[in-house]
Structure 1
Amino acid sequence: MKQVVPALTGSPLTQKTPWASLGVFFCACLLLLGALLPARALADCVLGEADEIVALRKVVDGDTLRLKDGRRVRLIGVNTPELRHGTRPAQPLAEEAREFTERFLAGGDLELVYDEDRYDNHGRVLAHVYNHRGDSLEAALLAAGLAFHIAIAPNFALAECLASREELARERQRGLWAPGVWPTLRADQLRPGDGGFVRLTGTVKKTDRNRYLWLELDGPVAVRLDLKRDYGHPSGRNWQGRKIVVKGWLVDRGEKYASRNRRNKRWFIASDSEFTIEISRD
């Protein structure tokens, strides 16, 4: 069984989100951050020996790669901002995330280490990715503030370590955590057209359960939780009145769904673990 190298101790929108320019100097600093981070910060979040050594053809975006054998690889544990698609503009720091990944992986073959699931719903290989020096791309992106940490079941092997890298960037207000770069969306301000990856905040007004636990917020959105996980909640299942912030993909089920299912919320976000939700202690 692969052994996880523990995280370092002592260290701590939608798709329409507008891009606020941070200036040439700040962007250059982001691109160089990987070279400036301590060696241990890049070498942590390691599961063990590589399952595959592969050659890179192209960096598609910050978290997606194309291998020379034709396969596409999606990084486990991170989500980087989306590049421009058609008429949809690039999200904040999307280009910087792609360039960071290109520089980080340059100079040699890649190491892939698998978790529980080998493929996603789009047929892409799911893997933890390391450069030819054995440095974790996911940890570096998170520490640079160029990605958000996500933890999707059942691929939790490095979730705690990766969460610590995001917390480091957040405490130092790097990249996406700098003031005004990636605003938090409010549940009571959702509008048609909102969707994609978001950080969303709201207050729990009601709970419901079936196969999942549903937190209905003070807006047209609910958060879907796994009943088997406790989400680090200090008061068990007493969610009413709690203010939360959740990271994930906001799904719009549409106006027709909302009109046919008036008891249900039009939008929802699935949260598989405590690593993607923050709960007020008030």
Structure 2
Amino acid sequence: MRILLVLLLCLPGWANAEIYEWRDANGSTHFSDRPVADAKTVDIKPGYDFYKVKTVYDGDTVVLEDSRKIRLLGINTPEVQHRDKPADAGGDEAKHWLSDKLKNTRVRLEIGVEKTDKYGRTLAHLFTENKEHINLQLVEAGLAAVSIYPPELRYVNELVKAQDKAEQAKIGVWGRPEYAATPVGSLTEAGHPGWTRLVGKVANIRKTRKSVYLEFSPVLSAAEGDTFEARIESKWLDLFPDVNGYLGKTIEVRGWLNKNKGHWSMLIRHPSAVKENP
């Protein structure tokens, strides 16, 4: 009969249904998706595949024993040394923490809505055999910043809450001067490499069909026409509060700088990347 239950759970529509078990007068066991007299609900525990981690590439990327490269969802850790590029502050600490955490254990994956990224890496949340949520623990330790890419919104509330706590305690990257918020007006032509935090006043809001632009003041290097704006894609506006509320306010935005035709910009994918200054 247990074999029958497994077969039922494999059928479309049964995997997420309530399953009931009961015995008839002859002592035979029956299963159904509909309650009957004296039936009890079967406690279904989904099976998981666990894998050993072969290589820890950096604080948010690992390689499994089956050679899949896994990119941890919802977070970003500083870069480690790569070819001729030096390590970012905190990059080695995040990698070492992850290596120690995954030593002598196996992990299971909760794969994202978009299963892979443009580099072919599998996108996932990692959990150990002890039910430790690795992505979350990196944020709790201040070794990773929250980095949400819709539609990957699983565990967002937990990640943001953990980041707020780590940031308030100034642990990990939040206590490092390299990651202190920088005034928009102090940006130079060289910009800022890697993930960064910028603070400024929203002087104007410009809207197009595809995006909303938060234009900051003061103008940077006015003689060269440099400006800075944060861009929010229109398709994700429902995730944000009314963006018109940012007008005239001093806010902090977090992400990566890009420059196009003399204009600095930063793509904001989720409201967790925007902080209103008190």
TM interval, short-chain normalised = 0.7 to 0.9
**Structure 2 counterpart SS, 1:246:** strand
Higher RCO (CA < 8 A, seq sep 6+): 1
Show the counterpart of 1:223.
230
The answer on whether the counterparts of 1:104 and 1:131 sit within 8 Å (CA) in structure 2 is no
Cα distance in structure 1, aligned partners of 2:100 and 2:253: 31
The answer on whether the counterparts of 2:196 and 2:254 sit within 8 Å (CA) in structure 1 is yes
Structure 2 residue 104 is the aligned partner of structure 1 residue 110: no
Q: 1:196 to 1:51 in 2, by over 3 A?
A: farther
RMSD: 2.3
With normalisation by structure 1, the TM-score equals: 0.73
Cα distance in structure 1, aligned partners of 2:156 and 2:46: 18
Deviation at 1:236, TM superposition (A): 5.4
Show the counterpart of 1:212.
211
Show the counterpart of 1:30.
none
Amino acid of the structure 2 residue aligned with 1:216: E
Cα distance in structure 1, aligned partners of 2:173 and 2:67: 31
The answer on whether the counterparts of 1:197 and 1:249 sit within 8 Å (CA) in structure 2 is yes
Q: 1:117 to 1:70 in 2, by over 3 A?
A: same
Cα distance in structure 2, aligned partners of 1:212 and 1:50: 42
Superposed counterparts of 1:22-41, under 5 Å:
none
Q: 1:226 to 1:49 in 2, by over 3 A?
A: farther
Amino acid of the structure 2 residue aligned with 1:91: D
Amino acid of the structure 1 residue aligned with 2:237: R
Q: 1:53 to 1:182 in 2, by over 3 A?
A: same
Deviation at 1:85, TM superposition (A): 2.7
Show the counterpart of 1:136.
133
> Of 200, 203, 210, which residue of structure 1 is paired with 2:201?
203
Q: Which of the two has greater strand per residue? A: 2
Superposed counterparts of 1:1-282, under 5 Å:
52-178=49-175, 180-193=177-190, 194-210=192-208, 211-218=210-217, 219=220, 220-227=227-234, 228-229=236-237, 233=241, 237-253=244-260, 257-258=261-262, 266-280=263-277
Runs of 4+ in 1 over 6 A off after TM superposition: none
Q: 1:52 to 1:119 in 2, by over 3 A?
A: farther
**Structure 2 counterpart SS, 1:135:** coil
More deviation, 51-60/214-223? 51-60
Ranges in structure 1 where 5+ consecutive residues have no aligned partner: 3-47, 259-265
Deviation at 1:55, TM superposition (A): 2.3
Ranges in structure 2 where 5+ consecutive residues have no aligned partner: 1-14, 17-44, 221-226
With normalisation by structure 2, the TM-score equals: 0.74
Cα distance in structure 2, aligned partners of 1:238 and 1:123: 38
